[in-house]
Chains A and B, each alone.
Chain A
Amino acid sequence: MKFPSELKYTETDEWVLVEGNIAIIGLTDFAQDQLSDLVYFESLVEVGDVIEVETQLGTVESVKSAGDVLAPVSGEVIEINTDLEDEPEIVNADPYVDGWMFKIKMANSSELDDLMSADEYMEQCEE
């Protein structure tokens, strides 16, 4: 299982890749493994929406359960990976690159300080 060190992580199993003032968000390898085969992805926000931390951005369903994707940071939604609507299995195959879900223009980058490092997240997963 992969926990790339350049990413930040949430307690609710989202990862964040920071590129300038843009946060790219997806579900972690651990999350997709727990969910197993994804069959459904739906965005609950639209491009242009301004969202708060922990706003529900989207929902995923697998053959055995369902889960939420929560916003790790506040800001404006600037892009949604709509490919996942037809092929949610991309998240299983490649959770950190092609399986990205949302891009958010951050309103307050200090919120990133509340997120976990790869090591801290790995520890949480082991519990």
Chain B
Amino acid sequence: MSEKNIFELSVQGRTGVRYPDIDVPLTEYPQHLKRENLALPELSELDVVRHFSHLAKLNYSIDSGFYPLGSCTMKYNPKMNEQAARQPGFASTHPLQPIETTQGNLVLMYLLQEALKEISGFHSVSLQPAAGAQGEFVGVRIIRRYLQSIGEGHRDKILIPDSAHGTNPASASMNGLKAVQVPSDERGNIDLVALQNMIDNNVAGLMVTNPNTLGLFEENICEVTKIIHAAGGLVYGDGANMNALMGIAKPADLGIDVMHFNLHKTFSTPHGGGGPGSGPVGVIEKLAPFLPSPIVAIIEPGNDEYAPLYGFIEPEQSIGRVKAFHGQFGVLVRAFAYIDLLGSDGLRLAAEHAVLNANYLLAKLKDYYHVPYPRLCKHEFVVEGAWEEAPDIHALDISKRLMDYNFHPPTNYFPLIVHEALMIEPTETESKDTLDEFIEAMISIANEAHTRPELLHAAPATAPLRRLDELKAAKELTVCCTPIFNQDD
């Protein structure tokens, strides 16, 4: 291994800081609380700075290159949003401050709720959920509470298409519902005949992602939501792919009853770096009383003299709090800045460009990679990373080889219904030049797969540790750095 971790760089006796002599009386700790051999690395300040500067250089991010990670919407995060979120008025407030001193924050949350309502067509929005999966959990919980409130609490079955994100069945299951898989038809839509056959008195609802994870618009979405409503169920929308719809179609108009937004991807702040997510939930009118609390509202109307007072309210039959305080506030600021700067026309344009970019890539790659559902895609698409003539090449090899071309790999092996899936999402923020470079790399890799497969199997040749052992990473879950400098062990 050529990359040393900070413990392996440690040299006994080396220090970064020299403390002054103690000029106060010593306080003795009891002997049994003392440890003589604390496992801390010993390095100079320069050693530490160089180590972490080096690691930072190895990092790959959207700021350093193209990141077509399907389903994750790795769009550029405008620096203006960062500036907004770091303003002391936002960054230094405490959630327990009296509301009279945090009116600016509350107005922002209120306006964001209003903007999300406008974008989605929903009656009410709660900004509480901390991420997409929690938004899903909240949405299904609301469906369940609503059904209980009208005496339909026995409904325990939730229908989920086979192309859905894996979090959908998990969210249903955590709410005590049974997830039942609905197959896709040959166009990649929900199979309407199969759906009809699954309908009975126990259906609580359906969870649908539109566009679905194949990057395809559910062509029969209105028919699907009608079938579920006629059966007495509700429709949950997974807002993960809202980037293709914002400003164009409102989920509520398509028959969706409750949906989460992924603020941390659709509205900038992409989450690939592991930063916090934010998954607000929007609902139609009859579900509004069940939203998680608190919600921001005008609690005292203004007049000629005074501005209105914004504060928190609790919906009457709220499922309760799902997060401490008021959601991921920093992400809310970024999302509001994004929406406010783009405006409704700008949001629509962003969605249109995301779809255009994906279709451009699809059109250029379809002669080189098998496309299982060859029709107009939305913001992303799925190809097969395998060829009959190159039996030893897998999607993983293509992904790893892309790193040698200095691109982040696409999502692979998802959705599960596509063999050797490569899921590509360029987003609207990339120029045609970048897309062309990516196309060139993908075509070049397709050729290598047939003529020089060893290049793909050895990839990534340029990464410092080459190909990582995924099997070992999945099996050996205990990672512990042995303090090798420790002479006592």
- List A residues at the B interface (Cβ < 8 Å): 36-37, 39-40, 61, 63-65, 89
Report the bound CA distance from A61 to B471 in whole Å. Answer: 11
User: Could you tell me if B471 and A64 are in contact, using CB atoms closer than 8 angstroms?
Assistant: no
Query: Size band of the B side of the interface?
Result: under 10
- A64 engages B413 (CB within 8 Å): yes
Partner of B475, one of A36, A39, A64: A39
Residues of B within 8 A of A40 (CB): 474
List of B residues within 8 angstroms of A61 by Cβ: 474
Q: When the two chains form the complex, which single residue of B412, B413, B471 contacts A37, counting CB atoms closer than 8 Å?
A: B471
B416 within 8 A of A: yes
A63 to B475, CA, bound (A): 9
Interface residues of B (CB under 8 A from A): 394, 396, 412-413, 416, 470-471, 474-475
CB distance from A19 to the nearest CB of B (A): 32
- A117 to B220 Cα, complex, angstroms: 38
Report yes or no: A63 in contact with B416, Cβ–Cβ below 8 A: no
Question: A47 vs B75: C-alpha distance in the bound complex, in angstroms?
Answer: 51
A83 to chain B, nearest CB (A): 15
B471 touches A65 (CB 8 A): no
Instruction: Give A61 to B394 CA distance when docked, in angstroms.
Output: 18
Instruction: Please name all residues of chain A whose beta carbon is closer than 8 Å to the beta carbon of B396 when the two chains form the complex.
Output: 64
Residue numbers in A under 8 Å from B416 (CB-CB): 65
CA distance A37 to B413 in the complex (A): 13
Chain A: CB-nearest residue to B474: A39
Residues from chain B with Cβ under 8 Å of A65 in the complex: 413, 416
Q: How far is the CA of A9 from the CA of B413 in the complex (A)?
A: 25
- In whole angstroms, how far apart are the Cα atoms of A40 and B475 in the complex? 8
Chain A residues with CB below 8 A from B470, complex form? 37, 63
Instruction: Name the distance in Å between A79's Cβ and chain B's nearest Cβ.
Output: 25
Give every chain A residue within 8 A of B471 (Cβ-Cβ).
Answer: 37, 39, 63, 89
Whole-angstrom distance between the alpha carbons of A65 and B418 in the complex? 12
Minimal Cβ-Cβ distance residue in B for A92: B471
> Please, which residue of chain A has its CB at the minimum distance from the CB of B412?
A64
Query: Across the interface, which residues of B come within 8 angstroms of A63, CB to CB?
Result: 470-471, 474
Q: Which of A39, A40, A61, A65 has the most CB of B within 10 A?
A: A39
Top-7 shortest CB links A-B = A64-B413, A39-B474, A63-B470, A37-B471, A39-B475, A63-B474, A65-B416
**Which of A36, A61, A64, A89 is packed against the most chain B CB atoms within 10 Å?**
A64
7 A–B contact pairs at CB < 8 A? A36-B394, A37-B470, A37-B471, A39-B475, A63-B474, A64-B412, A65-B413
Inter-chain contacts of A36 with B (CB < 8 A): 394
